[in-house]
Amino acid sequence: MIRSRAFAVAARQCLRRASQQPRWVPGCSQVPCRSYAVAKQDQVAKFKGKTGSDGKYTVTLIEGDGIGPEISQSVKDIYSAANVPIKWEPVDVTPRLKDGKTVIPDEAIQSVRKNYVALKGPLATPIGKGHVSLNLTLRRTFNLFANVRPCKSIAGYKTPYDNVNLVLVRENTEGEYSGIEHVVVDGVVQSIKLITREASERVLRFAFQYAEGIGKPKVRVVHKATIMKMSDGLFLSTARDISKEFPNVQFDTELLDNACLKITTDPAPYSDKVLVMPNLYGDILSDMCAGLIGGLGLTPSGNIGDECSIFEAVHGSAPDIAGRGLANPTALLLSSIMMLQHMGLNHYADKIQNATFATLAEGKMLTGDLGGRAKTHEYADAIIRKLKV
Ligand SMILES: NC(=O)c1ccc[n+]([C@@H]2O[C@H](COP(=O)([O-])OP(=O)(O)OC[C@H]3O[C@@H](n4cnc5c(N)ncnc54)[C@H](O)[C@@H]3O)[C@@H](O)[C@H]2O)c1
C-alpha cells in the first residue's frame, strides 16, 4: 500500500505538471519513462521481421491453455494448406513467480523479441495469491500499447444487425488500468486514472495510420472529457494535435454514452471510422461491439507494440469444452489474418479470409457454438477445401 501511495503521489505530481505545461513529457522517475519518438512520416509499430534463408518468417506461437492447442492446430493445418511462408516457433508461457511477481519464461520473451510477432491462444489466469493475469503481464512485458478490435458481421451467422463493420483501437497501457489504487482511510479507496500525452500520442498516431492503412476515411475519439476534463481532456487535445499530421483523415469526437446508444441503435454510420479511446472505454465498448456480430468466439484482436505485436482471440480457454474437439477456431484464425496483414502478407490473408467467410456463409460445417455439429478439425478441413476452390 505504501508503494502504491508513493506512486499515486508521483502520478498526481505528474498530472499537476501536465496541466501547467503545454507539451508534457513525464519527468518523474516513478512513472515508467518511455521514449517512443516517432518520425512524422514513419509508421508506428511497423513489422521489422525478415525472412530466413528458406524464405519463411518465423512466428512465435503461444498455443495457450484449455482449447488453445486444438484451435492452434486448426490454424497450423490451414496455414500449411495455404502455403503461408511462416515457420511456427512454439513457446511455453506458463507463469513463474519471481520475487513475488508473475513473470514469463525468458525463452518465450526472447522468441517474441526475435520474431517481432506472435500468435497467442487463450491463457487461463491462475487463481491464487501472487499471480496477476498473464495476459496483462504479456502486455506489460512487450509494451503492447494499442489493442485493435475489428468487429465485422459474418454472413451466415444471423445477429440483429448484418451491417456491422467497426474498428476499435483501445489504449492498452494506462488510463483506468494503471493499477494505482490505495486506501485513503478505512472505507475510502482511491483509484488513479493516469493519462499521459506520450502514451496518448502513440496510440492516436497508430489509430490514424491504421485508418489510412485499411482505407477508413475517419478517426473518431470516444471520450468523457465533459466529466474527466483533465485526463480525457488531455487525450482529446492530443488527438487534435495528432490529427494535423493526417490531413487526409477526417477527425471528430463523440461522448462514450452517446457512442454506445448510437452503435447499438444503428452501427452502419460507424463503418467508415476507426474509433480510438482510453483503456476502460475500449475494453467495454469492444466487447459490446463483439456482441453485435455474434460474440467473442468470432472476434479477433491485435495487441500492437513498438517492437513486437501479439495477435490473439479475445475469448478465454473454455475449460468446459477443452479437449473434446468442440471449439471454434474462427477467432484465432481471424486474429492470425490480422497478423498476416501486419506482416504485409496480404495475399495469404485474403486467401484464408475468403475461405473462412465462405465456409461460414455456407453454414454446412459449423461448430456447436454457431449452431452446427462439426468438430473443430472438420470445420478447419472445410476451410481448407475452400482454399482450393
Ligand atoms: N485472452 C485470454 O487469454 C482470456 C480471455 C478471457 C478469459 N481468459 C481465461 O480463460 C479462462 C476461462 O474463462 P471464461 O470461462 O470466463 O471465458 P471463456 O471465454 O473461456 O468461456 C466462456 C464461454 O464461451 C465458450 N467459448 C469460449 N471460446 C470458445 C470457442 N472458441 N469455441 C466455442 N466455445 C467457446 C466456453 O465454452 C464458455 O461456455 C479463465 O481462466 C480466464 O481467466 C483468458
**Which residue CA neighbors atom 31 of ligand 1 most closely?**
328
The H or E element containing residue 192 is: strand 188-194
Ligand 1 atom nearest residue 318's Cα: 20
Identify whether the C-beta of residue 74 lies closer than 8 Å to the C-beta of residue 67. Answer: no
Identify whether the C-beta of residue 87 lies closer than 8 Å to the C-beta of residue 51. Answer: no
If asked whether residues 201 and 138 sit together in one domain, one would say no
If asked whether residues 35 and 95 sit together in one domain, one would say yes
pLDDT of residue 40: 46
**Which residue CA neighbors atom 26 of ligand 1 most closely?**
318
**How many degrees, rounded to 5, is the angle at CA 103 between CA 62 and CA 112?**
40
Ligand 1 atom nearest residue 295's Cα: 24
Rounded CA-CA distance 15/352 in Å is 47
Identify whether the C-beta of residue 362 lies closer than 8 Å to the C-beta of residue 327. Answer: no
What is the full DSSP assignment across 233-249? HHHHHHHHHHHTT-TTS
Residue 177 alpha carbon to ligand 1 centre in Å? 21
Residue 14 lies in a domain: no
Rounded CA-CA distance 278/247 in Å is 23
User: What are the pocket residues of ligand 1 if the criterion is a CB atom closer than 6 Å to any ligand atom?
Assistant: 67, 122-125, 135, 296-297, 312, 314-321, 327-328, 331, 369
Mean pLDDT, rounded, for 153-157: 86
Strands 300-305 and 273-277: unpaired
Compute the half-sphere exposure of residue 58: CA atoms within 13 Å on the CB side of its CA: 13
Residue 34 scores a pLDDT above 50? no
If asked whether residues 301 and 380 sit together in one domain, one would say yes
> Which of the listed residues 223, 246, 281 is the one where a domain comes to its end?
281
pLDDT of residue 129: 54
Residue 107 lies in a domain: yes
pLDDT of residue 127: 65
Rounded CA-CA distance 353/340 in Å is 11
Residue 83 lies in a domain: yes
If asked whether residues 312 and 376 sit together in one domain, one would say yes
If asked whether residues 275 and 194 sit together in one domain, one would say yes
Ligand 1 atom nearest residue 368's Cα: 33
- Look-up of cell digits 526472447: 110
Rounded CA-CA distance 88/116 in Å is 13
If asked whether residues 153 and 300 sit together in one domain, one would say yes
Residue 315 alpha carbon to ligand 1 centre in Å? 5
The H or E element containing residue 274 is: strand 273-277
Residue 41 scores a pLDDT above 60? no
List, for residues 319-334, the tens digit of each pLDDT value: 999 999 999 999 999 9
> Which of the listed residues 255, 281, 307 is the one where a domain comes to its end?
281
If asked whether residues 96 and 145 sit together in one domain, one would say yes
Q: Which of 60-69, 88-97, 250-259 has the lowest mean pLDDT?
A: 88-97
Identify whether the C-beta of residue 17 lies closer than 8 Å to the C-beta of residue 84. Answer: no
If asked whether residues 189 and 277 sit together in one domain, one would say yes
Residue 105 alpha carbon to ligand 1 centre in Å? 23
What number of other Cβ atoms are within 10 A of residue 64's Cβ? 23
If asked whether residues 35 and 153 sit together in one domain, one would say yes
Residue 19 lies in a domain: no
Rounded CA-CA distance 14/204 in Å is 21
Give me the CATH number covering residue 122.
Answer: 3.40.718.10
pTM: 0.87
Instruction: Tell me how many domains the chain contains.
Output: 2
Rounded CA-CA distance 103/122 in Å is 17
- Please give the share of the chain, as a percent, with pLDDT higher than 70: 87
**Residues contacting residue 187 through CB under 8 Å, at least 6 positions apart:** none
List, for residues 195-225, the tens digit of each pLDDT value: 999 999 999 999 999 999 999 999 999 999 9
If asked whether residues 179 and 277 sit together in one domain, one would say yes
If asked whether residues 36 and 139 sit together in one domain, one would say yes
Residue 5 lies in a domain: no
Q: What separation in angstroms does the CA of 367 have from each of 92, 157, 355?
A: 27, 12, 16
Ligand 1 atom nearest residue 71's Cα: 31
Residue 8 lies in a domain: no
pLDDT of residue 132: 67
Domain that holds residue 115: 31-157+294-389
Mean pLDDT of the chain: 87
Residue 10 lies in a domain: no
If asked whether residues 310 and 346 sit together in one domain, one would say yes
Residue 6 scores a pLDDT above 60? no
Rounded CA-CA distance 234/230 in Å is 6
Residue 117 lies in a domain: yes
Mean pLDDT, rounded, for 367-384: 95
Residue 60 alpha carbon to ligand 1 centre in Å? 22
> Which of the listed residues 228, 246, 281 is the one where a domain comes to its end?
281
Identify whether the C-beta of residue 339 lies closer than 8 Å to the C-beta of residue 59. Answer: yes
